Structures are given as structure tokens and as C-alpha cells.
Amino acid sequence: MKKKGIFTGIDSLPHMYQIVAVVFISGAFVSFAYGLSTLGLTEVAASFLSFYVVFVGQRVFVKAAGSRKVRHFRESSALLGALYRDAEEWLTDRKLLALCIIGLPVTVVFVLFKTLVVWCLGVFTSAWVALAVGLLVAGAVTSPLLVRRVRDVVFADGGEGEAV
């Protein structure tokens, strides 16, 4: 009997359950990071949250770039996708020394992002604020359709169909 992988059942859940799960998990991550920061472990909390955001964000970006059907900027979108694939292929062919040199600016950007996360953790005045921000960001990430609809309303072509 063939054993199923741990994520086989999770990936087959209805879309709404997946969205709710991602929102709750992301809210829990932000709340946990806030809890660590209140215990004086701000650096650990920032590393924890920064890695989570970069890991999930990168995969969401790659998935979204490959699967979207754009109406505007179609050629630009195709160009960006081609540039990303070319860069990945180029990086795969590099020797270790080149990867170490390339890693320097990437690390600097990550440290700057982590510094921003440390600042945000300082702005959170309570666990409720941390949870609200985490859920808001998670909701935007898990429901790109909602974000698209809001964007379409804000940047509607000529404001057609909008009430004054």
C-alpha cells in the first residue's frame, strides 16, 4: 500500500478552508513573534517572523507570477517572468564563490527587512494589534481576489460604473 504524503490531504481541502487556515496560522505566527518580543527576545522574534514572511512571500510571488492572466502589461509580465526564470537558471550554474558574493546584497536586503520587522514589533502595542496586523496581511496574501477587486475599484479605468 502506497503511503500518502503529509500535505496530500491538506492540499485537497476546499479553498475556503485553506484560506481560513492560512489566516489563522499567519496570525498565530505574528502573535507568537509579538510574545517573544515582549519577553525581551526581539531579535529572535524578528528573525522568526522575517524568515516566515520571506519564505511564504517568495513562494506566493513565484506562484502568482506564473499563473496570472493579466489584461494590462501582458508583455511586461511575460518579460518579468522570463527574467526571473533566467536569473534562477543563471544562479543554479554559479560556483560557490560567486554565490557567496551574490549573497552579500541579498543578505543586506534581508537585514534591512528584519530591521523593519523589529521596528514593527516595537509599534505593536498589544497582542491584539499584532494579531490584527498579522491577520490583515495574511488575508491579503491568501485572498488575492479581494485585493484585486479593491485595486480595480481604486484604479478603475476612467471611473466607469462608480457612484458619485
One-letter-per-residue 3-state SS of 68-95: CCCCCCHHHHHHHHHHHHHHHHHHHCCC
pLDDT of residue 164: 47
| Residue 161 is assigned to a structural domain of this protein | no
**Residue 19 belongs to a domain:** yes
Q: Say if 7 falls within a structural domain.
A: no
**Could you count the other beta carbons within 10 Å of the beta carbon of residue 111?**
11
Assigned domain for 136 exists: yes
Q: Would residue 164 count as lying in a domain? A: no
Question: Within a domain: residue 2?
Answer: no
Angle, vertex CA 8, rays to CA 6 and CA 9, nearest 5: 90
CB neighbour burial string for 63-83, b if at least 16 within 10 angstroms, e if fewer? eeeeeeeeeeeeeeeeeeeee
Q: What pLDDT is stored for residue 64 in this prediction?
A: 62
- Residue 90 pLDDT more than 70? yes
Structural domain total, the chain: 1
Query: Which of 31-35, 56-60, 143-147 has the weakest average pLDDT?
Result: 143-147
The reply to whether 34 falls in a domain is yes
- pLDDT of the residue at 158: 55
For residue 57, CA distances in Å to 18, 70, 90, 100, 128 come to: 16, 20, 22, 23, 23
pTM: 0.54
Domain that holds residue 77: 14-154
